[in-house]
Amino acid sequence: MIEFWRFMKIIHIVGARPQFVKAAMVSRAWNSSDEEYIFHTGQHYSPEMSKLFFDELNLQKPDRNLNLGGGNHAEQTSGMLLGIDRYIEEIHPDHIVIYGDTNSTLAGALAASKRGIPLSHVEAGLRSFNRSMPEEINRVVGDHLSNFLFCPTEESKRNLVAEGIKENVYLVGDVMADALYFFLKIASKQSNILVSLDLQPKSYCLVTTHRSGNVDIKSNLKQIIDGLGGIDQPIILPLHPRTKKMLKVFDLHFSENVQLIDPVGYLDMLMLENNAECILTDSGGIQKEAYLLGVRCITMRDETEWVETVDAGWNYLAGADHEKISKSFYDFHPKEHRQQIYGSGDAADKIVQIIKSSLSGG
């Protein structure tokens, strides 16, 4: 007798680089006889970089790409919702998987819910408790509409329970940890980013900044620029398209110690992170990767959804404050041993097993 789950139709909703990485790990764990579809909203609006990530991660090419990069939140989300809904009507999936906290996550959750399609949220339960962040709204709505919630940490599971979500909540570990453990070995063999930038290990800082609360507000972006200018060490900054745009709008410029480079692929980014002496960022994913790699992290936000990294003493919240940014670079040095708080690298396997078991009546 052929088991039903072997012929499930699954749609992965992605739209930004971290989601490509997460979907790649879940897809690797899936049975090849299932029908998997990659729906790309195009929220990441650099086609070349998007293709590079898919190639590096060996993730199948998107079956549909809306190319909806740019625009405000309402324009993006409404366009995604309509596109995903039409795709659901065309494919008739058995299950939809959403990832993280982007507008793509929100649109996927709404579309699946309206169509009555079982929905899984990978990276459920994260909370910054700052409702002014679009990502926080996306997380909350995505969680409350999902049928299966896969939590990366104990803290994220507790957040869901506190909101009354107790059914089908699973602590599985973090798929980004799966990816880091898997791809770091490949990156060390294939990436030549350190050579091309003439960098020695532990001789530079790595910076990323792209959050709208930082780069879309002139005073905050200037605070970050001034804070980085107070660091007496070479800084490498892969420049996000949004940040690049707002630098021109505000007529702001980084100091000479900051080397601006084009965005890089996942393997090159892992090598830059792994060999940095310090990482300064407003990215949630990079905070977590810094912890996994044992690199001290200064977060240029007032709060974080990855509170475990702060509690463990490896992440410092400096906000968009130039004095705190530069001072913490010199004063903040982790001393505590790093605990394994994001799983052992098998989160994707657990996720796939749970989904298949539930849909096959197991």
- Active-site residues, by number, are 210
SS3 for 301?
coil
Report how far apart, in Å, the C-alpha atoms of 100 and of each of 2, 218, 284 are.
34, 27, 10
> Angle formed by the axes of helices 218-229 and 241-250, to 10°?
100
What DSSP state is assigned to residue 62?
A: P
Q: Cα–Cα distance between 314 and 294 in angstroms, integer?
A: 8
Q: Cα–Cα distance between 66 and 51 in angstroms, integer?
A: 14
Q: Which helix (H) or strand (E) holds 186?
A: helix 175-190
**Residue 297, beta-bridge partner list:** 279, 315
**Nearest by Cα to 280 from 225, 201, 360:** 225
Instruction: Show the tokens assigned to 352.
Output: 């796939």
Which amino acid does the sequence have at 362? Answer: G
Q: Are residues 126 and 105 in contact, defined by beta-carbon separation less than 8 angstroms?
A: no
**Nearest by Cα to 28 from 277, 326, 351, 310:** 351
202 in the Ramachandran plot: left (φ > 0), alpha (ψ -120 to 50) or beta?
A: left
Q: Cα–Cα distance between 320 and 353 in angstroms, integer?
A: 42
Instruction: Kindly report the number of other CB atoms within 10 A of residue 114's CB atom.
Output: 13
**Residue 280, beta-bridge partner list:** 207, 298
